[in-house]
């Protein structure tokens, strides 16, 4: 009765987890929710009436121009007509799946990688080539070998403050990865929603800025720096891909909501924008440090982690590969939630003993309280 892709439709576990975390009294380290108190005000009094009418599939010209300028400043020379405004960067992943993935198509990803990207690629039938991720990024030699052996349709990478690991590719790795992709003409899908959430100075350019021959799609989001409820993201792309992405977008929803685009344009052009980012970084840096201190107090005996230089997550590896989905059930009994690590690997059945802990949403007190309880839960399972 249904399409064959429906057999590959996943997501219920995560949906159930996130639903549980909404319960009154639960301290949640599960989602990637920005802090309400760190968001800009929603001020729409100036919104012009023209926004009521249908807009263009590509997006509002002024916003596209601004995004192109920002990306060019980052080193990725880009014209406004290479930018497509999307319904969050998630839609960019959906469009990329449609563009590249048939049943059986080999797709190269990091292991671990962003859960909802894995789900989207899988839905369309991807066969995953998963490269292990270290704090410096993937191994370019391994990338070259897998490309030669399996010829993936594209490489999906999150080089800056990766979700879930928080890792940030070194400049040397970026250059070498770009060289490998260029030589083989393998398209890059580079997902960077966390780039601006840096807690120490990081000036690595996007990998796509180093590309000279390979096609690329660069995904960005206003959800982490601005407000996610408006659903504004973007896909910038090499000129060969843009017309295809635009037509896929047209078929998906005609265009992105114009009110959110208008707000996003004003937000990015506001003279206060750099100061807003600094305030946001200061706020999240403090929470990251609070969680680092709490983990030191309550997890040091049985786990290890890197303190992330940016992003929204700690990626905690237990010394024994417990099934963190089992841990989650016990933690929820005590009103603490986190994201189990297993679903971030394309083969998500094997217990791996990873926990993804978000530090942006709970306040300092809740962080200390929640990490203490979570530590007790883990310890009781290790004994």
Which chain residues interact with a second copy by CB under 8 A? 1-6, 9-12, 15, 31, 33-34, 36, 39, 41-42, 44-45, 47, 49-55, 57, 86-88, 90-91, 94, 98-102, 105, 116, 119-120, 123-124, 153, 187, 223, 227-231, 243-244, 246-248, 250-260
Kindly state the smallest distance separating residue 34's Cβ from a second copy, in Å. 7
Shorter beta-carbon distance to a second copy: residue 4 or 349: 4
Shorter beta-carbon distance to a second copy: residue 206 or 233: 233
Shorter beta-carbon distance to a second copy: residue 74 or 237: 237
**168 half-sphere exposure, CB direction, 13 A CA radius:** 26
Kindly state the smallest distance separating residue 173's Cβ from a second copy, in Å. 25
Kindly state the smallest distance separating residue 244's Cβ from a second copy, in Å. 6
- 3-class secondary structure, 268: helix
Shorter beta-carbon distance to a second copy: residue 240 or 296: 240
Q: Cα dist. 383→110, 225, 331, 337, 362 in Å?
A: 32, 41, 16, 21, 28
Strands 216-221 and 188-191: parallel
Report the distance separating Cα 115 and Cα 113, nearest Å.
6
Shorter beta-carbon distance to a second copy: residue 52 or 334: 52
Kindly state the smallest distance separating residue 306's Cβ from a second copy, in Å. 26
Tokens found for residue 136: 């410096």
* Strand ranges inside 58-174, DSSP E: 83-86, 106-111, 127-132, 155-157
Strands 339-340 and 303-304: unpaired
Kindly state the smallest distance separating residue 345's Cβ from a second copy, in Å. 18
Q: Are residues 383 and 340 in contact, defined by beta-carbon separation less than 8 angstroms?
A: no
Kindly state the smallest distance separating residue 3's Cβ from a second copy, in Å. 5
Shorter beta-carbon distance to a second copy: residue 130 or 214: 214
Shorter beta-carbon distance to a second copy: residue 9 or 141: 9
DSSP string, 43-74: --TT--GGGGS---SS--HHHHHHHHHHHHHT
Q: Are residues 358 and 29 in contact, defined by beta-carbon separation less than 8 angstroms?
A: yes
Kindly state the smallest distance separating residue 183's Cβ from a second copy, in Å. 16
């Amino acid at each position: 009765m249904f399409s064959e892709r429906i057999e590959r439709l996943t997501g219920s576990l995560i949906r159930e987890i996130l639903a549980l975390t909404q319960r009154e009294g639960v301290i949640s380290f599960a989602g990637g929710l920005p802090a309400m108190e760190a968001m800009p005000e929603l001020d729409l009094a100036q919104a012009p009436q023209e926004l009521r009418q249908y807009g263009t599939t590509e997006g509002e010209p002024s916003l596209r121009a601004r995004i192109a300028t920002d990306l060019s400043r980052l080193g990725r020379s880009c014209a406004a007509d290479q930018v497509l405004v999307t319904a969050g960067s998630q839609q960019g992943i959906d469009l990329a799946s449609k563009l590249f993935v048939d049943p059986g198509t080999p797709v190269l990803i990091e292991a671990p990688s962003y859960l909802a990207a894995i789900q989207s690629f899988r839905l369309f039938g991807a066969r995953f080539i998963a490269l292990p991720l270290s704090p410096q990024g993937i191994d370019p030699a391994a990338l070259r070998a897998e490309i030669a052996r399996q010829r993936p349709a594209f490489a999906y990478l999150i080089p800056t403050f990766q979700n879930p690991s928080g890792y940030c590719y070194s400049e040397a790795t970026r250059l070498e990865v770009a060289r490998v992709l260029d030589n083989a003409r393998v398209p890059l899908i580079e997902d960077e929603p966390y780039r601006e959430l840096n807690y120490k100075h990081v000036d690595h350019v996007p990998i796509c800025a180093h590309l000279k021959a390979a096609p690329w799609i660069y995904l960005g989001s206003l959800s982490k720096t601005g407000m996610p409820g408006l659903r504004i993201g973007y896909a910038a792309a090499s000129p060969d891909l843009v017309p295809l992405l635009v037509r896929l977008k047209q078929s998906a929803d005609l265009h992105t909501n114009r009110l959110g685009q208008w707000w996003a344009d004003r937000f990015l052009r506001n003279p206060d924008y750099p100061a807003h980012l600094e305030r946001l970084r200061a706020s999240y840096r403090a929470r990251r440090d609070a969680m680092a201190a709490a983990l030191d107090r309550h997890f040091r005996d049985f786990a290890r982690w890197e303190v992330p230089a940016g992003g929204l997550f700690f990626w905690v590896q237990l010394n024994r590969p417990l099934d963190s989905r089992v841990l989650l059930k016990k933690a929820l009994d005590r009103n603490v939630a986190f994201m189990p690590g297993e679903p971030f690997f394309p083969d998500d059945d094997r217990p791996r003993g990873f926990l993804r802990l978000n530090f942006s949403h709970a306040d300092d007190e809740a962080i200390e309280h929640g990490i203490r309880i979570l530590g007790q839960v883990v310890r009781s399972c290790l004994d």
